[in-house]
Amino acid sequence: MNMYQHNSSLSTPLVPTVWEPSSAEEAVFLKRQYGADAAYIAGSTLLRTQWENGLLSMPEHMIRLDTIPGLRGITEHKQRIQIGALTSLRECGKNQLMRIHGNTCYTACCHIAAPSIRNQGTIGGNISSAVGDMIPALLVHDARLVWLDQANHLAPYEQELIDWLEQVRLGRRSPDAILLGIVLDKGEPDFVSMHHDQEESTFACNSFSESSSWREVSFYRKVGRREAFTPSLVTVAFRALMNREGTLVDVKMAAGGGAGLAMRLSRCEHLLEGQVYDPQQTATLAAQVEEEWASYSDPFASEAYRRQTAGNLLAAGLWEILYQEMERG
C-alpha cells in the first residue's frame, strides 16, 4: 500500500494523508483505524463540492478506492449482471448490458451532471452518497449491493438496496463498509423490453419476441432547477410488465431527488397491480403518489411542490406509455 502527504509551502491548516490501498480489506482496515478522520474517495466529484461549499471538512486521511483492482466494469453472468462500484457513470450510460437489463439505470446515468463529471463520478459514489439520482432507478430493478466490512469479517455480502436505504434512514449504516458492486437480475428472456425516452419521445425496444405476450415497460424522469447539469429536485422511476390488453403486473415505482432519501411507492404499486390502466385514473395516481411519498422542504422547493411534481411525473409517464401503445396499435 502506498501513502503520501501533500507538501505545501503555504501554511495550510490541514495536509491530508492520501492512502492508496491495494485491496478492499486494506481500505477497511484504514477506515477502522482512523474512523471519522478518514473518508473513502472514489471519483471525488461530490466530495470536492461538499468540501468547497463547507458542507464537510476535508478529512485528515483520504483512502483512495481507485487503486483497488477489480472494482470497475460491468460483467454478465447467467442470471444477473454485476457493476463494479468504481465504474464511471459515463461507462454505465454507454453499456449495452446496462441498457438491456437495467434500462432506467442506463437512462439515469445519462441525466446525471455534465459529461465531464460523469467521466469521473462513479456509480458507487452516487449510491454511497445515499441521495444520488441513480437510486430510484436502481430501486425499480430490485438492485442488490455487494459490501465488505469488518462487522461481516471482511467477507463480501449482498444486501437489497431497499434494506440498505432503511438502515441509512435509521442512522444504522456501517461506517467502514465499502461498496464493491451492484447486482441486477436479468429479466425473463421472452419479455420484450420497452423503455420510454421522454426527450426523444420514442420507445427503445431492446429485444423482440413475437411469441411473448408480456413486455417490460419503464421510464425515468428527473426535474432539476435548471434543465441540465444540476442536481435534481425530484427523480422518479417506473417499471412493470404489460400485456397486449394493457394489464400491468410486477409494478415498481420509486421517487427520490435532492437531499431526500428515495423510496419505493408500494401503495401506488398496489393501486396499479393487475389493472388495465385507464387514463382517467391519472389524477388518482398522481394524488396517491403525493400522499405516499415522504419528501422534504428546502430553500429551493417546498415539500408540497416536490410531492406534486413526483405525482405528475409518474402519472404523465404512464399515460405516455399507454398513448404510445395505442399509436402502435
Ligand X SMILES: Cc1cc2nc3c(=O)[nH]c(=O)nc-3n(C[C@H](O)[C@H](O)[C@H](O)COP(=O)(O)OP(=O)(O)OC[C@H]3O[C@@H](n4cnc5c(N)ncnc54)[C@H](O)[C@@H]3O)c2cc1C
Q: Which residues bind ligand X (CB under 6 A)?
A: 39-47, 49, 65, 85, 89, 112-113, 117, 121-122, 124-126, 128-129, 132-133, 178-179, 229, 231-232
**CA Rg value for the chain:** 21
Taking CB atoms, the residue at the shortest distance from ligand X is 125
Between 44 and 218, CB nearer to ligand X: 44
For residues 229-262, b (16+ Cβ closer than 10 Å) or e, as one string? eebbbbbbbbbbbbeeeebbebbbbbbbbbebeb
CA 327 to chain centre: 31
What residues have CB less than 8 Å from 72, skipping those under 6 apart?
A: 84, 86, 87, 88, 91
Joined together, the cell numbers standing for residue 225 give 432547477
Between 114 and 205, CB nearer to ligand X: 114
Between 73 and 279, CB nearer to ligand X: 73
CB of 161 to ligand X, least distance (A): 14
CB of 96 to ligand X, least distance (A): 21
Between 156 and 274, CB nearer to ligand X: 156
Joined together, the cell numbers standing for residue 168 give 441509512
CB of 207 to ligand X, least distance (A): 29
Helices 303-328 + 282-292 axis angle, to 10: 150
- CA separation for the pair 292, 295 (Å, rounded): 9
Between 49 and 209, CB nearer to ligand X: 49
CB of 71 to ligand X, least distance (A): 7
Phi/psi for 255 (5° steps) reads -135, 150
Q: Which residues pair with 197 in a beta bridge?
A: 202
- CA separation for the pair 94, 109 (Å, rounded): 9
CB of 23 to ligand X, least distance (A): 13
Question: What Å distances lie between residue 182 and 32, 81, 82, CA to CA?
Answer: 23, 8, 6
Q: Which residue type sits at 33?
A: Q
CB of 87 to ligand X, least distance (A): 10
Between 45 and 312, CB nearer to ligand X: 45
CB of 132 to ligand X, least distance (A): 4
Specify the residue for cell string 458492486. 181
Residue 31, CB half-sphere, CA atoms under 13 Å: how many? Answer: 23
Between 65 and 286, CB nearer to ligand X: 65
Q: Which residue type sits at 324?
A: Q
Between 21 and 125, CB nearer to ligand X: 125
CB of 147 to ligand X, least distance (A): 8
Q: Which of 189, 193, 196 is nearest to 102 (CA)?
A: 193
